[in-house]
Structure 1
Amino acid sequence: MDAGLSIKNNFLTVYALFYAGAEALCPLIVNPFNVVLEYRQSVVVECNTSVSPLDLHWEFLNHRVNNGTLLVNSSQFKNWDETPRCTGKFIGLDTCTKHVDITLYSKCAVFYLGCDVQNVAPVHRLTVKWYKGQTLLTDTFFNDSTKTPVNQSATLQISPSRADDAADYWCEAELRLGPAGPQPPPTMKSNPLNITVYCEMNSVLVPIFSDVSLNCSAEGNPEPTVMWSFKNQTIITGRRQSTLTISRATSADAGIYTCTATSLSWSQTREVKVEEGRRCECRL
């Protein structure tokens, strides 16, 4: 039994040394190699080497990027376990590959609106109604048996989407005092709250053979780098701001353009969808 155990341990030791040696022979350096990224955000990863390669490229989302810089845009993920891989080919060495471990997370954009009703009595007769525009969203009822005037609050939870842009939210307090009370019941309305939803993608309609400029800027300390990319290829990079000019646009220029601002501790992404339009030609 002891001899068998010794042989097994020796085999494992030799295998481990061989594997470590193979890893050591791969001169690729991926930075960062472990990324925690919020869904719809982006990060730039680099693949470098101290040895001149015959070939160096990234493979990601069925695309090949023929340089050491890759923009990882998580909004393009088809699955949440996508893995960018950097591959290098070197003289005297086998082709080797290193990958980036990406952990995606998502958080909901939830907001709470408050409606304060002051000096109201009796509380159990109070109803607070929430509206979006002229649409009733919900009613809030109170079970407090206090008969003297008190202050009460009602809360509405919302998760705004693109369709909520420029919407008005407001509340209405109503005292339902029964048949013997005043008719219609006494009410008090709040001022409307007009909300603005900043969407992550804008759309630009470009007539064919026209010129278009896409501007992107960011502020920060240290000064951020601003980069435009298209189809996983970096197009132009600048400090604090970057302007991408498309001259004589054709159908090949249509698609989603990504602007990424990156500093030491943060990265933000915005997208612009460029769509092909038709130029109207009038002849007399």
Structure 2
Amino acid sequence: MEFFTLLQQHLWITLLCFADFYVSVRDCTVEMEPVIDPPSLVVKYGDPASAICRTQHNAFITGWEAPVEATRAAGSHQAVWEVSSLTNWSLAKGITCYGIYVGYAECLAILSITIYKIPERVTLSHSDPVLKGAENRLEFSLECDVKGVAPVENLTVIWFRGHTELGRSEFRQLYWSDDVTVRANLSITDSTEDNRASYSCAAHLDLDTADPIPDTRSNSILLEDLYKYAREVSGGDVRLTEVNYTGDANPGVMEPSGELPSVGNSREIILGVVVVVVLVLILAVVVLVWWKCFKKLAAYVSKPLNTNMESFHLLQQLLWISPLCSADFYVSGQRCRGKEPVIDPPALVVKYGGPATATCRTEYNTTRMGWEATMGASSKENTQQLVWSVDSVTDWSLKDGILWLAIYEYKPCTTHLPITIYKIPENVALVLDEARPLLEGHEYLLECEVQSVAPVNNLTVIWFREDTEQKRSGYSQFRIEGDRDQNVTVRANLRIIASREDNRASYSCAAQLDLDTAAPIPDTRSNSILLEVLYKPTIVSPSEDVSLTEGDRLELNCTADANPSPTYEWRRDNKTLENNNSSSTLLIESVEMDSAGVYECIVSNTQGEVSVEIRVDVRNNPRGIIIDKPRGIIIDTPRAIMIGEVVVALVVFLVLVVLIRRKHCKRNEPHQ
């Protein structure tokens, strides 16, 4: 297999296509091109970085080709690339998003990445000053040393005399992929009276970032340390000379104007000749290796396939690893058109540990047909149908799908079966970050932990208050622990501001897997957390001002909502009422004239207090109403006297009537 390893390296490294060698990108249409969000990245060295690649239509593999965190997602139209700390300078060359479609058309998109690094320090030094000329003008040179900066092509060294800019040194024609040290020189001829003036330089990075990158300023050099002679001249004569560049590679030299010196042109020509020679040699080696490889491959394919699938492994390395196809070897290419097999079902969504099966059929006779898989691999000669079946899917590598291969007269054709393996969470737990009870108005964090779930890209965490959905958290808001190619533990957070409405309310979360299964996958619900919120009192039903008559019954109310339960204090005209001091209701059975005044109800608990004032007016009783308190009988004195007089008169009248009637009866009796 050495020649296949060598072939793989050359097929990936070179992008040259010639003769019958073609890249399947030629079958890619504009509608099939991947979309990258964001389209480019400008990242500070050591900071996190992420991007999302989305493919269209029926792509069965979406992935990222990158030096670090390369990833691929089978059966998905989306792949996320992210690093927690960007420290690999090779990423500055950009990374590639790819989508592979049915028929093995491959579409690519490049994510441009600019990695910048703020200089570790900027130092200004000077040469020994020399007096020259009849006017004793002072000549010296300044050197600005910028250490650990990137990218150098976006760097500008700015020269200052005091706060006045003298000039700029740029490095637009230089390119290094990592951080470097840059040195720029400035020659000065100065004669001035201002010996308190100073020189300095600054490193400026011109990049398209959300916030401007602050310039890094050097130390200052005072002229009073250099000048011993003063002359009356309006200003110094300043001219820029060559800027020397040193880095991790060979140093280059350039003028601030951007034109390379003559020596640089010679070097460029020599370098170009060397590059051309090297490319010609590489091309010759690649052609030779390809020719030998294809001859050996033809010899292997002409042999009958054995049960251990060695030839299938051989073909897989060529057909999967390399996007180049040539000679008589095609991957669902021109020679396979019209002979594409049918896989039933076209894609699988399988529960971890559950069974899986698929059938591949073709209308044409095959020399051999086989399934290439880490579980259930099989092959059969002279057949038009082959079943792949496993009793329990426990190998996570199957999530990349499996390969079906058929050989028609020793010409191989392949088809891919995408497989999604899902795992229902073992447990979903909700925890609160602080001890209870909570305080009204304070912020708290609820954490939902979903244990052993897959695939994480299809997971959604749903937050509930009682049975009402509050929010949904997706992939970008997860903290993930474990191998993302297998089952992982996911943590999501919900921030809440505690309020009195949350008191005695329950919160919970649920893990939802959104997959195209025959029956919906039930959500996995967490435990519920019953919140207790402490809050100060609020009076909910205060009594209004009242006007009564002497002897009436007075009842005042100031019921309050509070947690913990509040205490009540009643005052009248700023004096505490001793007999009614612990209830929300104040009761006086019979008011008197001195019961009038302003009543104040003060409600308090550990979280604060609140009060309300109620005015009570008492009118005099002109009818002399008396309240019999023990028996609760009310007697109106004038009315009682009147009633008594009537009763007496009636009794006297009845007595007179009786006497007169008796006297009349005696007169009418017969005499004996």
TM range (shorter): 0.3 to 0.5
Larger RCO (CA under 8 A, 6+ residues apart): 1
Q: Could you tell me the TM-score, scaled by structure 2's length? A: 0.18
More helix by share: 2
Structure with max Cα Rg:
2
Q: Could you tell me the TM-score, scaled by structure 1's length? A: 0.39
